[in-house]
Structure 1
Amino acid sequence: MARYAYKALDESGRKQKGTLEAESLEGAERMLLERDLVPMEVKALTAAAGRGVGLGRFASVKAEELILFTKQFRTLLRAGVGILRILEVLEKQTENTKLRSVLAAMGRDIRDGAGLFEAFHNHPSVFSPLYCNMIRAGEQSGSLPQVLERLTYIIEHEHKVRSDIKSALQYPIIVSLFLVVAFFVLLTFVIPKFVSIFDKVGIDLPLPTKIALNLYAFLENFWVLLLFGLVGGILALVLWFRTPTGRLLRDRFLLALPLFGKLFAKAAMSRFASIFSILQASGIPVLDTLKILSGAIGNAAVAYEFDQIGEKLSEGKGIAGPLSEARYFTPMVVNMVAIGEESGNLEEMMQEVAVHYDDEVGYATKRLSDAVGPLLTVGLAVVVGFFAAAIFLPMWDLTQMVK
């Protein structure tokens, strides 16, 4: 623990000074925020972890850091602090080298006459199109603090959904990698030693052993070609997935996968409903909302459907009709949108849908974890059984021969 001296603003905009103990500079800032104080200056009084030093342009801004920045920005705005002063304060406080350099560049842009939206828009690696469009909506409507509060909710919501999906996929990916490694280790190191013994004796090898031996011979003779083919295939896929067609077919394939597809689809519906409701509450027109969603939904297959819906909306149709003709949108989503359009409470209906699909993502994650365990156990049993048969069947024959 180290001791820090701080200067901060309270909710009424008055300056506060004092000291506190925390494990790090970031921890001290969080403690101040929990006390409803916005840190303006925090200094270590004793040795403490310093700011990270690194190559800022190669660093990344984590969701937690973006959430903290947005909360601080909102609180300072409510306290009546000017934009340039806000950027200066937040630049000094952030430990992330990339975000610090971005805030410095934003300050220079605003001094040169750029608007707030333009300053954010110039840094797409940190601020998404959704983030920038929300800033523009708040700037135009004069309700920027409220928009920043909604942005904080969106980022926190997105972070939670992604964390849940990553948690669900982490276990099967790790176990699958271990299975592949175990397969190649047994095939290349264990099987050949036993096969050399069986060849000397001259017994007829059973089918599993012949298969394992042929696989080993193939790897031994063509491992260079296999390695280049694997690396080349991965690079080709990565480059192809960067094209619009590649992204579209990849995401359609992911949505069609058993078990995983339903999870991805429900996560997309949750994201659609939460972002749609907040954009509507911010006064952004439906057509603009769909354009923003197309770039922010994170799934090319669902984004393609938004583009189709936007074309039909431009022809004067409501959103519920085109939505019912689109793929991936469930009857519940379509019905709730139709009710919202008829009653004029589209924002509230979308909030209900978002809450529902948040729960659905949680249930789908649990079901996926419950289903993947037995499948991985079966895969492990198949690998172990194959190599057990390849080794022990000829050993049994050898025992019978000795007898």
Structure 2
Amino acid sequence: MVSYRYKAMEPGKSPIDITIEADSEADSLSRLRSRGLIPIKAYGEAGAEKHSFRLKRKDLDACEFSDRLMPLLDANIPLEKCLAIIEQSVPEGSSRDVVRSMRRGLHEGKKFSELVRSQPQRFPAIYASLVETGEETGCLPETIRELRRFLNESRSLKEFIVTSSIYPVIVLGVTFIVVIMLFTVFIPRFARIFHDMGRELPAMTLVMLKAGEVFKTCWWVWPLLVAGIIIFARKLRQGGKLKNKWDKFILKIPLVGKLITAVQISRFVRTMAIMLKNHVHLLPAVKIGIRVIENRAIAGTFSKVTDELRGGSKLSAALNKSPYMPPGSIPMIRIAEESGSVGPMLEQIADEAERKLKVTIKRLLAMMEPVIILILAAIVLMVVISIFLAIMEMNAI
């Protein structure tokens, strides 16, 4: 048996955390309901959270919302009651206000998909489209389960990148601090000693002393640089021509461009796969897939795909016109079109793309660590050699 963790509550009582021993997730939900408990949130298999790192969120996002909603729907609780339970379980603030407004919308006769679509900051476009399909087919619980899996996979990839980057970023930060200390504290002290002696110093020592002087006198450059980066990042978020130029430029950077392309294409293919598997028509699935691509240069190459599909072209032929689509994926999609299994094939392509992406990121970060350490060692060695040469020169005289 496997242990499953839930946040659950009895009617009129406070939520509690509970672990259920069961053969499957469905069996665990059945055992939970037999105890008179209403599931609020599913954590998954007990112990799994120990092996992963998750960033805490202040607000209820689409992934967290799905984690809370899915077990309630599986317990055959009406949607309005589900939202009432979720409203009670989230802290006071904007998140509770959003859930409360969605409950109010259901009372007014609005569709759940309309209410989700009215919150674009919290729910991506794919969420509303799939919920609408689930409402039409009467398979809303299954749809929420698919969305939960999709969102958790996307979040897992982001957290993998963040977690893998922590150590290299720390090493880079320590390197930066050490270099600053060398050139602003250590070297200037030796500069005063050599200046008092009035000796002619070797060229390498003079270069190091000059660099230390520049670091100390031009300290104001660093705050300006940080401020410039912050302003630049805000401008990029606003979009416009700067965003277009930056997206084109970053794709030309070796390795970085390949990584960004892999991330964007993986999201694009994964979104189309989940849409098609849940009976969304091809054209809307492609449109929403293009909308999740954040890099405008890449998204622009797919802008004509919808026109090609309207003109009667197959998906494989339309996607083949983008230079960013992996060449090996096109024949696979073509075969899937003949067998009528495009959705599952796209999911396999996305799985393989994400697997390769994780391997590439691991290797890149593994390479960065020794490179940063070697750079730091080289700088320290140059400083030591320059001072040693100066001391040798003075002793010779």
Range with greater deviation from structure 2 (304-313 or 100-109) = 304-313
Q: Report the counterpart of residue 82 of structure 1 in structure 2.
A: 78
Shift in Å at residue 115 of structure 1?
Answer: 2.1
* Distance change >3 Å, CA 225–CA 60, structure 1 → 2: same
Distance in 1, matches of 2:7 and 2:335, equals: 54
Q: Report the counterpart of residue 51 of structure 1 in structure 2.
A: none
Shift in Å at residue 101 of structure 1?
Answer: 2.5
Give the SS at the match of 1:223: coil
Q: Given that residues 8 and 39 in structure 2 are in contact (C-alpha distance below 8 angstroms), is that contact kept between their aligned partners in structure 1?
A: yes
* Distance change >3 Å, CA 373–CA 221, structure 1 → 2: closer
Q: Report the counterpart of residue 48 of structure 1 in structure 2.
A: none
Letter in 1 for 2:180: F
* Distance change >3 Å, CA 390–CA 230, structure 1 → 2: farther
The percentage of aligned residue pairs carrying the same residue is 24
Shift in Å at residue 341 of structure 1?
Answer: 1.8
**TM-score when normalising by structure 1:** 0.80
Distance in 1, matches of 2:320 and 2:246, equals: 23
Map 1:1-12 onto structure 2 (within 5 A): 7=9
Shift in Å at residue 146 of structure 1?
Answer: 1.5
* Distance change >3 Å, CA 225–CA 67, structure 1 → 2: closer
Map 1:100-249 onto structure 2 (within 5 A): 100-224=96-220, 227-249=223-245
Give the SS at the match of 2:122: coil
Q: Report the counterpart of residue 375 of structure 2 in structure 1.
A: 379
Distance in 1, matches of 2:21 and 2:248, equals: 45
Root mean square deviation of aligned Cα? 3.2
Q: Report the counterpart of residue 329 of structure 1 in structure 2.
A: 325
Q: Given that residues 127 and 147 in structure 2 are in contact (C-alpha distance below 8 angstroms), is that contact kept between their aligned partners in structure 1?
A: yes
Range with greater deviation from structure 2 (97-106 or 153-162) = 97-106
Shift in Å at residue 232 of structure 1?
Answer: 3.1
Distance in 2, matches of 1:230 and 1:397, equals: 40
Q: Given that residues 183 and 216 in structure 2 are in contact (C-alpha distance below 8 angstroms), is that contact kept between their aligned partners in structure 1?
A: no
- List per-residue Cα deviations over 1:28-83 (Å, max 9, x = no partner): 067699632375489xxxxxxxxxxxxxxx93336xxx545314423333443222
Shift in Å at residue 155 of structure 1?
Answer: 0.8
Distance in 2, matches of 1:59 and 1:96, equals: 11
* Distance change >3 Å, CA 245–CA 332, structure 1 → 2: farther
Shift in Å at residue 187 of structure 1?
Answer: 0.8
Residue 348 (1) aligns with residue 347 (2): no
Distance in 1, matches of 2:309 and 2:204, equals: 61
Give the SS at the match of 1:307: coil
Q: Report the counterpart of residue 386 of structure 2 in structure 1.
A: 390
* Distance change >3 Å, CA 234–CA 208, structure 1 → 2: farther
- List per-residue Cα deviations over 1:315-357 (Å, max 9, x = no partner): 3322212312212211122222222222221112112212222
Residue 281 (1) aligns with residue 280 (2): no
Distance in 2, matches of 1:248 and 1:175, equals: 32
Distance in 2, matches of 1:302 and 1:132, equals: 24
Letter in 2 for 1:119: L
Distance in 2, matches of 1:6 and 1:280, equals: 33
Give the SS at the match of 1:325: coil
Give ranges in structure 1 of 5+ residues lacking alignment. 9-14, 20-24, 43-57
Range with greater deviation from structure 2 (187-196 or 213-222) = 213-222
Give ranges in structure 2 of 5+ residues lacking alignment. 1-5, 41-56
Give the SS at the match of 2:328: helix
Give the SS at the match of 2:110: coil
Shift in Å at residue 234 of structure 1?
Answer: 3.3
Distance in 1, matches of 2:132 and 2:240, equals: 27
Distance in 1, matches of 2:21 and 2:85, equals: 14
* Distance change >3 Å, CA 109–CA 390, structure 1 → 2: farther
Distance in 1, matches of 2:99 and 2:280, equals: 26
- List per-residue Cα deviations over 1:116-138 (Å, max 9, x = no partner): 12211222222122222222222
Q: Given that residues 305 and 327 in structure 1 are in contact (C-alpha distance below 8 angstroms), is that contact kept between their aligned partners in structure 2?
A: yes
* Distance change >3 Å, CA 225–CA 170, structure 1 → 2: closer
Shift in Å at residue 150 of structure 1?
Answer: 0.9
- In the alignment of these two chains, the number of paired residues is 367
Q: Given that residues 39 and 72 in structure 2 are in contact (C-alpha distance below 8 angstroms), is that contact kept between their aligned partners in structure 1?
A: no
Q: Report the counterpart of residue 58 of structure 2 in structure 1.
A: 59
Distance in 1, matches of 2:369 and 2:229, equals: 29
Distance in 2, matches of 1:31 and 1:379, equals: 52
* Distance change >3 Å, CA 96–CA 301, structure 1 → 2: farther
